[in-house]
């Protein structure tokens, strides 16, 4: 059969490393293996159900037959509720015309790129980070990549970003960060904002401005002394150049409910609305109505967060402490202290070691495979998030972690590490 020619974009599309790993996991589970799957940035509803009040509102919305098309920019009552939610929780003051609702964060991120970035434009982002590389490819833009390091908890610094800022169209920031579970410190974010403002002041009339796409999908999930900061609260002049991405997917364990939103400059949001109206990636009407009602229930939201965050932190701390115990025993593992989100940054420096049969773990892909085969541990290497393929760091997600699995998982992991020579 002759090879079918398609668009240059489709021909050059890179497959998802996470999807590839997920396929391997599903096949092993189908064959009866016990796999501790910490790859997916999702929640197991058996462990982390959505808030009861939100669930009841969704059911009520369907019973009231809210099943027609929603407004292109989102139902007015939901946009009003989002405005009130941010005014109450973060002190941010936005109007309903500065809010765009969509079916989760992905279509919003895609639309931000299509609104602000032309083919060949510079897009600045750090790695590891979630999907920025793919969105740059989809926009046929120029990658300006900063390699974040352990010394800064895998978050970019203003010093690293500064050489790439001149002439750039978009700067992508995410805090708390997927995949690292770490956050941008206040002073560093302030410095980054000053870089953006100085660059935009330098540009002449008629020139495109540099915008910041600020993904704060995990902002409610911070632990201990960690605090979340955003550009507009820190530097009010950034309101003109910041487009936020947020929603209920992570803060309410509602990934499948598909309600997300962007908020930012009215002119940008208006163009995003125009693009999304052709894509049709609306959040379902009933879920919009339900979310609008639930966002006003401050007491119920706060009550939900208490137990929800405790359950997430328990898992993050337990796995971190377990890895530190293995490190104390001399195994080549490490981890970054949990800060936020549902992710733990962990390390397996096993390249060069040999299996019991003498087979060499020649690269990080071989290490990933060994952990899956011998320990049943499924985690995502940082190279799946744009980092160098030699990176020994991984993302571990606790959203589907059962407490009962922790002890047997560590027993099996230590057994696998002990076999290596």
Compute the mean pLDDT over every residue in the chain, rounded to the nearest whole number.
95
Instruction: Confirm if 41 and 384 have CB atoms less than 8 A apart.
Output: no
Enumerate domains of the chain plus CATH numbers: 8-48+302-419 (3.90.1150.10), 66-297 (3.40.640.10)
Percent of the chain beyond pLDDT 90? 89
| Residue range 404-419, pLDDT digits in tens | 999 999 999 999 999 9
- Residues 6 or more apart whose CB falls under 8 angstroms from that of 39 comprise 18, 21, 22, 25, 378, 379, 380, 397
| Residue range 22-56, pLDDT digits in tens | 777 878 878 888 899 999 899 999 999 999 999 99
| Residue ranges in 295-389 assigned as alpha helix (H) | 298-328, 364-374
Residue in this structure with the two tokens 């037959």, named with its chain if needed: 65
Instruction: Confirm if 398 and 39 have CB atoms less than 8 A apart.
Output: no
Alpha carbon of 254 to those of 157, 247, 419: distances in Å? 32, 9, 40
Question: What is the C-alpha radius of gyration for the chain, rounded to an integer number of angstroms?
Answer: 22
Residue 178 pLDDT greater than 90, yes or no: yes
Instruction: Confirm if 300 and 245 have CB atoms less than 8 A apart.
Output: no
Ramachandran region, residue 131 (left: φ > 0; alpha: ψ -120 to 50; beta: rest): left
Question: Which of helix, strand or coil describes residue 245?
Answer: strand
Rounded to an integer, the average pLDDT of 219-234 is: 97
Closest CA to 183 of 145, 212, 222: 222
Closest CA to 131 of 147, 152, 111, 109: 109
């Amino acid at each position: 059969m002759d090879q079918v020619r398609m668009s240059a974009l489709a021909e050059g599309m890179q497959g998802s490393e996470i999807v590839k790993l997920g396929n391997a996991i599903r096949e092993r589970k189908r064959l009866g293996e016990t796999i501790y799957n910490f790859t997916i940035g999702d929640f197991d509803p058996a462990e982390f159900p959505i808030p009861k009040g939100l669930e009841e509102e969704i059911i009520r919305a369907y019973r009231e037959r809210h099943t027609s098309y929603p407004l292109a920019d989102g139902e007015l009552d939901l946009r009003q509720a989002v405005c009130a939610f941010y005014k109450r929780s973060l002190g941010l003051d936005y109007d309903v015309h500065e809010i765009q609702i969509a079916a989760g964060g992905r279509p919003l991120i895609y639309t931000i790129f299509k609104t602000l970035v032309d083919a060949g434009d510079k897009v600045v982002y750090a790695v590891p980070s979630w999907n920025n590389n793919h969105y740059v490819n989809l926009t046929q833009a120029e990658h300006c990549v900063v390699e974040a390091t352990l010394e800064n908890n895998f978050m970019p610094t203003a010093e690293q970003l500064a050489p790439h800022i001149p002439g750039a169209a978009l700067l992508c920031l995410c805090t708390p960060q997927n995949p690292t579970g770490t956050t941008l410190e206040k002073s560093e974010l302030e410095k980054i904002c000053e870089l953006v403002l100085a660059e935009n002041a330098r540009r002449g009339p008629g020139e495109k401005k540099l915008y910041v796409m600020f993904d704060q999908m995990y902002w409610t999930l911070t632990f201990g002394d960690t605090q979340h900061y955003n550009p507009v609260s820190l530097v009010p002049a950034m309101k003109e150049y910041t487009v936020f991405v947020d929603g209920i997917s992570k803060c309410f364990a509602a990934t499948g409910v598909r309600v997300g939103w962007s908020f930012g400059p009215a002119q940008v949001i208006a163009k995003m609305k125009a693009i999304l109206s052709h894509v049709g990636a609306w959040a379902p009407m009933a879920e919009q109505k339900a979310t609008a009602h639930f966002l006003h229930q401050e007491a119920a939201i706060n009550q939900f967060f208490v137990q929800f965050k405790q359950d997430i932190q328990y898992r993050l701390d337990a796995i971190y402490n377990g890895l530190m115990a293995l490190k104390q025993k001399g195994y080549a593992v490490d981890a970054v202290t949990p800060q936020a989100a549902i992710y733990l940054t962990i390390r397996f420096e096993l390249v060069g070691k040999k299996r019991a049969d003498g087979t060499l773990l020649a690269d990080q892909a071989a290490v990933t495979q060994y952990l899956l085969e011998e320990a049943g541990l499924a985690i995502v290497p940082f190279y799946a998030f744009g980092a160098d393929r030699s990176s020994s760091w991984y993302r571990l997600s606790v959203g589907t972690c059962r407490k009962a699995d922790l002890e047997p998982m560590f027993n099996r992991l230590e057994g696998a590490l002990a076999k290596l020579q």
